[in-house]
Structure 1
Amino acid sequence: MKSLKTLLMAAALVAVNTLSFAKANTNKSFGSEDRHLSGFNAVSVAGSFDVYITQGSSESVKVEAPDDVIDRIVTEVEGGVLKIYNKKNNGMTWNWNGNKKIVVYVSIKDVNMVSLAGSGDVYFKGGLHAPSLKLKLAGSGDLTGKVDVRSLESSLSGSGDITISGRAESSSVSVVGSGDFTGQNLATANTIVKVAGSGDARVNATDKLEASVVGSGDVHYTGAVKNVTSSKAGSGDVSRM
């Protein structure tokens, strides 16, 4: 009986401590910092942040995060690239596991690349305009946005997804892994798409489509495309939507 009482008391203490920790974690105050950065035309994100990119007449970076971790969010410009990542702690990369998302707002004038590595999400739903643009995704995060470009190059490796709408004269898509490229609302003239793995690609073309599939993934296409060439190795398929 005594051992049972001791066990119940221990369980009660664990429950109280767990609730106290959860409450403290939930009630952490959030801070906001304007990082005074400029001179970048590309954005590289590594981590579990939510990043919102807008294109305008000025450059700015704002970070919203809990007060006790906001200084661990590094934003720096190197070689024209705005890098956003976690500061290392004792040689190890630190990751935020709290209930609320760490959010970074980026305003950019000219852009030629957006890349994401990790489990974060990057949004540019207001649209990005450029002569040429590269989108790179590695990991389980998502890239979602709208573009108006002459040339678009999208590469996806891992389990994340790229969802793009807008216009591009030419588009090149590479999918490696289990992620998906969703671009049926991206109007293009010419598209080259390569899928290796179990991921899928959805594209839209009017003049020419070159599609290759290796593995179990699929390429689905729409648009009044006049010339379609395809190759397959595995159980995947190339088909009209």
Structure 2
Amino acid sequence: MAGARSASAEIVALVDAGSVTFVATDLAAPDGPDQLVAEALERGRLDILVNNVGAVTPRMNGFLDVTDEEWFRSLTLNLMAAVRTTRAALPMMLEAGRGSIVMTSSVNAYLPSPGVMDYSAAKAALSSFSKALSMEVGPRGVRVNTVSPGPVHTDMWLGTDGIAQRVAQVTGSTPEDVAAGTASGSVTGRFSDPAEVADAVLFLASRRSGNTTGANLVIDGGIIPTL
């Protein structure tokens, strides 16, 4: 089951193939996570939760230009959506004595950037929350792990209103040059592919990582050399 405000082309293809049920819900709203989990439980048990809601807006004018509303929006999307969805799903996992929760964090949790300071702070909080929760619920059979991608070849980065486009508008560069400069900061010299992140999530969600909890899997092409 997948939940979002609207279905992407990839989700629509999975729905058409009969392998996914889509629930239209705003996971940034206080009642959105409860709605999604309730829909999942109507169709059976809940064994795996992947918290993948997130968004980032470049802050090219500096800290003093970031409003309270923008801070709260970042914290809601990148932290509270996962907190609320986890809170809704966890009781069933604890009752069953098993479950796997995977949080999508970011390298910016460990590599704070002034250009995305509110996003970095929210992702750092998400990573800390995930680690603390893993220590609480691990003895009861529920695993909690995170993946921390660097730049990924998605619309968030490379779309018509993506990060590269927004940065280019402010700097007078081109989206292609912004993307190339970002990719050059990694050892591999490229963005990650979405499938590479998805494979990492699948591994952490599966029984093949049955004794892995509280872990953070970084997928960044070597941008952060110390993790």
Tell me the TM-score normalized by structure 1.
0.27
Relative contact order (alpha carbons < 8 A, sep ≥ 6): 1 or 2 greater?
2
Larger strand fraction of residues: 1
Tell me the TM-score normalized by structure 2.
0.29
Greater C-alpha Rg: 1
Larger helix fraction of residues: 2
